[in-house]
Amino acid sequence: MKIKVERSGGLAGLPISNEIDGKNLPSELVSTVKNIMGGQKSTSLSMKSTPKGAGDHYIYKISIINGVNRRVIECNQYSIQDDLKSLVKYVEKNSNRTN
Amino acid sequence: MDFKERFDVINREGQFVNRRNQSCFIIPEYMNKNIVEKGTKKQKEHAWKNLILTEQLRGRRLVTGLMSSMFSISNKLERTIFDAENTENLPGTLVRHEGERLKGGKTVSEAYDYSGATYDFYKDIFERNSIDTRGMKLDSTVHYGEDYNNAFWNGTQMVYGDGDGEIFQRFTKSIDVIGHELTHGVTQYEAALEYEGQAGALNESFSDVFGSLVKQYALKQRADKADWLIGAGLFTNKIKGVALRSMKEPGSAYNDPTIGKDPQPGHMKNYVDTTSDNGGVHINSGIPNRAFYLVAIELGRYAWEKAGKIWYIALTERLKERSNFQKAANSTYEVAGTLFGKNSQEQSSVKRAWDQVGIKIKAVK
């Protein structure tokens, strides 16, 4: 299983892509991934939570690929849920950066 | 209904949360407002912080201008600096407020001084009283997050990271970055350009334009002496790059093995069609950025006098939420004609500039 986090936006507009093999995930993140693959999470977290007038925030695209199954979640720093945020931080910290 | 029936739990901020999971606060808003208006200096500080915090904790249910509309219009600069202490909690701990001298470290001082410089620029040049024209307080949080490589405007305040020390230094280092972030607030209260596609790229461009002019004004630089760089000095010396962006030559600001090459186009033929970055708002802003640079250089003198004035009036009187590059070109052309005369040097310069970036003027008048 591959978990990929692509981040865009921010003041500098630098796109960053990080990827890990999901087989050694900490237990608290395993359930997050299961929820994503099981369809319990919306693939497009509402951007309506973005404050009016906000600028230079981060945008995330989280992809989980398990064989032929693939789930992608899009969100930003205002709409990202705590468990997804933890997953993103873990991937960024433990990844082989792909860009 | 007794107390326990109304309130389920005390959350970690010490607030009572009722059955509908709404946050309730012990000190009501009207009381904090009275204290801000009539309390002692120390009382005002605490009450002001409470008011900001309650806005944040109400799930960012922010009514733009709420804070300033609660009080009478102020004609004075009012700055407040908070320290997030490397957490992502906003606004953080109050560390400096207006009038306090040399309190806090370098980062606090930069946020304080440069937001003041931005206020002064808008007041001196455009007679604009802060972000909302009503003396809105300028709140900044520094030391946000850990190794945080970003700065942003969240609709209410500015937020600055310290950088990771590998790619970026602290984000308060560049005065134009602070001008950039505050200008997102100005845009919010004026054209309210949507943060997506061409409207979003215009939003970004206006922030770069006025961020650069804030720097030029502070340094008293004429257009031909300015560097026209956004975020110069933010990269560490490990990165091959001079700035985040170049308005003079989009695409030339950096070229580095770690972060890649500056992707900004300077002409419509190289417009980047993408879904990332809200449709490339930080990428395609290079096109209107270069248009402004060309006008400023051709008209000469101080760039805020003519080019800046044209762009300011376009932002505050002509553009709307979904305005695109064509609309910006037409509007700046029309404003130049109104200000300086039809077929004036200034209007012709605007036409030439947009033409050079691939946009033909389609003006009504």
pLDDT tens-digit profile of B247-268?
999 999 999 999 999 999 999 9
pLDDT tens-digit profile of B84-117?
999 999 999 999 999 988 777 999 999 999 999 9
Task: Look at residue A36 in the predicted model and tell me its pLDDT.
Answer: 84
pLDDT tens-digit profile of B262-294?
999 999 999 999 999 999 999 999 999 999 999
Tokens of B350: 């605007």
Task: Look at residue B93 in the predicted model and tell me its pLDDT.
Answer: 96
Max Cα distance, chain B (Å): 75
**Record: contact B244-A15, CB cut-off 8 A:** no
pLDDT for B233 beyond 50: yes
- Count chain A–chain B contacts defined by CB atoms under 8 A: 93
pLDDT for B343 beyond 80: yes
What ipTM was reported for this prediction? Answer: 0.92
**Record: contact B184-A55, CB cut-off 8 A:** yes
**Record: contact A55-B150, CB cut-off 8 A:** no
Separation of alpha carbons B262 and B340, rounded Å: 36
Task: Look at residue B8 in the predicted model and tell me its pLDDT.
Answer: 42
**Record: contact B278-A58, CB cut-off 8 A:** no
- For the CA atoms of B34, B39, B45, B50, the dihedral, rounded to the nearest 10 degrees, stands at -30
pLDDT for B66 beyond 70: no
- Are B257 and B263 within 8 A, CB to CB? no
Separation of alpha carbons B305 and B253, rounded Å: 26
Q: Which residues of B touch A56 (CB under 8 A)?
A: 150-153, 180-181, 184
Of the candidates B144, B134, B241, the one whose C-alpha atom is nearest the C-alpha of residue B186 is B134
**Record: contact B151-A11, CB cut-off 8 A:** yes
**Closest B-chain CA to A16:** B259
Task: Kindly state whether A39 is in contact with chain B, defined as any CB-CB distance less than 8 angstroms.
Answer: no
pLDDT for B71 beyond 90: no
Task: Kindly state whether A24 is in contact with chain B, defined as any CB-CB distance less than 8 angstroms.
Answer: no
Mean of the pLDDT values across residues B164-184?
98
Catalytic residues of B: 181, 282
Task: Look at residue B102 in the predicted model and tell me its pLDDT.
Answer: 75
Task: Look at residue B1 in the predicted model and tell me its pLDDT.
Answer: 43
Q: Which residues of B touch A15 (CB under 8 A)?
A: 276-277
Q: What percent of chain B has pLDDT over 90?
A: 77
B330-353 b/e with 16+ CB inside 10 Å = b? bbbbbbbbeebeeeeebbebbbeb
Which residues are paired to A59 by β-bridges?
A: A8, A76
Task: Look at residue B53 in the predicted model and tell me its pLDDT.
Answer: 62
pLDDT tens-digit profile of B8-63?
444 444 444 444 444 555 666 666 756 655 566 567 666 666 665 665 554 433 44
Task: Look at residue B101 in the predicted model and tell me its pLDDT.
Answer: 80
Task: Look at residue B39 in the predicted model and tell me its pLDDT.
Answer: 65
Which of A13, A15, A51 shows the shortest C-beta gap to B156? A51
Q: Which residues of B touch A75 (CB under 8 A)?
A: none
Please report where in the chains the tokens 């497009």 appear, as a residue: A44
Task: Kindly state whether A57 is in contact with chain B, defined as any CB-CB distance less than 8 angstroms.
Answer: yes
Mean of the pLDDT values across residues A63-72?
91
Mean of the pLDDT values across residues B226-238?
98
pLDDT tens-digit profile of A10-65?
999 999 999 999 888 998 899 888 888 887 666 676 666 899 999 999 999 999 99
Which of A8, A51, A58 shows the shortest C-beta gap to B62? A51
Which of B150, B168, B184 shows the shortest C-beta gap to A53? B184
**Record: contact A51-B154, CB cut-off 8 A:** yes
Please report where in the chains the tokens 């009382």 appear, as a residue: B43
Q: How far is A13 from chain B (nearest CA, A)?
A: 5
C-alpha gyration radius of chain B: 22
Which of B152, B187, B192 shows the shortest C-beta gap to A56? B152
Of the candidates B330, B315, B68, the one whose C-alpha atom is nearest the C-alpha of residue B207 is B315
